[in-house]
Amino acid sequence: KSTKPKFEIESGDMAIDRAGLVDALVDMGATGAADEVIKLPASGYKLLVLTGLGDKSSSGIYSHESLRRASGAAARSLHGQVNATFSLPYDSLEGIAAIAEGALLGAYTFDEFRGSSKAERKPALKSIEIFTVKAKNKEVAALLRRAEIIAEQTHLTRDLVNTPPSHLTPDSFAQRLKKIALASGLKVEILNQTQLKAKGYGGIIGVGQGSANPPRLLHISYSPKGRTNKKTKRYAFVGKGITFDTGGLALKPAQGMEAMKSDMSGAAAVTAAVIAIAKLKLNVAIDAWAPLAENMVSDKATRPSDIITIYGGKTVEVLNPDAEGRLILADALVRAAEVGKKFGGLDGIVDVATLTGAQVVALGTRTSAVMTNNEKFREVFLDATKRSGEQFWPMPLPEELRPSLDSPVADLANIGDRMGGMLVAGIFLKEFVSPELPW
């Protein structure tokens, strides 16, 4: 027996023939699955776009991530159009914000380096309107502004990740973010190669010394104006900033190496995040740290068996120069905690990194791993990821893997057991965070 699919057409007071639409969708074999997009002509409109929302949540509503994903799919399908009005079924004011955020994130293109082919590319939407009876609600206006800021800084992160290493070196990254951060009223400090050597940042220097583009350490700090007191939460964000990773003397295979321009995405994420936090004027103090280096092949590059001294004094035997991200992160983690102590200590420290390919083997390309020394802090973080629509999964840090990082000549080695490589990388970083500091 054939049954007619049930479709929910959200149009508010927009003049749309719902019954006719349902009949058309049935004839076209539409399912309403997530990411499904169907374009139809409609009387009074240039184009009508229907976007699938997938299944409702267990509570009988569409999750904010479903709304975000659906509006994003619709926006991507509208490249080449100038403006569009979005109307999706929301259950709360936050749902309106999710629709706006998805639409804005979907309206993204990167064509900075296109020449003659640029004119052939379809540009993203220039104007996005959210259709809602709550339009005059002041809280909605604030939520839409938040969505704009989040999307703006996500676009910045994407731009940085997409920029080729010919145009994004440690210094150009630092200078670009400095300009944006200063314009947002933030404090900025950049340490150059000479300063890094003098102050003992052995991880950053060791990784970057093989490149003609010298390393940098970028520090961007935000404190809420006039509201900072002993009760103000203070966190440090640390992001891996390898602007290109050849693997060093442990040279990577040629196939796929072009993707290593994205090895600085952690640094892009944390610096864009602190700028967003400043624009949102959140009542929290944030220090964002971006250790920046190129991991290149040369006669000056770090060799397997070389020993480096991380900021703070711990020594590391570099058995694999391609396990470099953890070395620059170690420097920054120690320094971030040190600076935090000047303000009475940190409430937590979060590092973000394309840490190791072993993570992708374990969890795939859409789910990130969470490793921590504090279960309560992990739950707070995971709750935030669920509310923001990010996919994260908690992973353990087994004590029995720690001995594999022992070195006969240094405090520890930069690699250990190959099996469980992601966990070993996390255990390595844990060595540079005091147990009482939530990480």
- What is the rounded end-to-end Cα distance, in angstroms, of the chain? 57
| Residue 142, pLDDT score | 95
pTM above 0.75, yes or no: yes
pLDDT confidence of residue 164: 98
Of 69, 261, 326, 335, which residue is the catalytic one? 326
Which amino acid is present at 196?
L
Q: What is the pLDDT of residue 10?
A: 54
Q: Dump the DSSP string for 6-57.
A: P-----TTS---HHHHHHHHHHHT----TT-EEEEEETTEEEEEEE------
- Which ranges of 164-291 does DSSP label H, i.e. alpha helix? 170-183, 193-199, 202-208, 265-280
Q: How far is CA 351 from CA 49, 147, 212, 381, in A?
A: 40, 24, 27, 12
| Boundaries of every domain in the chain | 18-146, 163-430
- Dihedrals φ, ψ of 195, to 5°? -65, -40
With vertex at residue 224, the alpha carbon angle to CA 223 and CA 229, rounded to the nearest 5 degrees, is 85
Per-residue DSSP letter, 238: E
- The catalytic position among 145, 252, 378, 402 is 252
Q: Measuring CA to CA, which residue among 155, 105, 104, 95 is closest to residue 127?
A: 104
Burial of 119: CB neighbours in 10 Å, binned 0-12, 13-18, 19+ = exposed
Residues in the chain predicted with pLDDT less than 50, given as ranges, are 1-6, 9
Whether residue 48 contacts residue 40, with contact meaning beta carbons closer than 8 Å, is answered with yes
Per-residue pLDDT, 225: 87
Decide if domain 18-146 falls under CATH 3.30.428.10.
Answer: no
CA dihedral 377, 383, 384, 385 (to 10 degrees): 110
252 flagged as catalytic: yes
DSSP-derived secondary structure letter, 121: S
**pLDDT number for residue 109:** 96
Q: With contact defined as beta carbons under 8 Å apart, do 266 and 351 qualify? A: yes
Q: Which residue has the tokens 């935000």?
A: 222
**Contact yes or no for 337/433 (Cβ under 8 A):** yes
Mention every residue, 6+ apart, whose C-beta is less than 8 A from residue 12.
Answer: 87, 131, 132, 133
pLDDT for the residue 15:
63
Residue 237 contacts by C-beta under 8 Å, 6 or more apart in sequence?
Answer: 270, 273, 274, 286, 287, 288, 289, 349, 350, 351, 352
For 163-430, which CATH class?
Answer: alpha beta
Q: CA–CA separation, 380 vs 309, rounded Å?
A: 33
Query: How far apart are the C-alpha atoms of 285 and 124, rounded to whole Å?
Result: 35
How confident is the model at residue 3, as a pLDDT?
Answer: 43
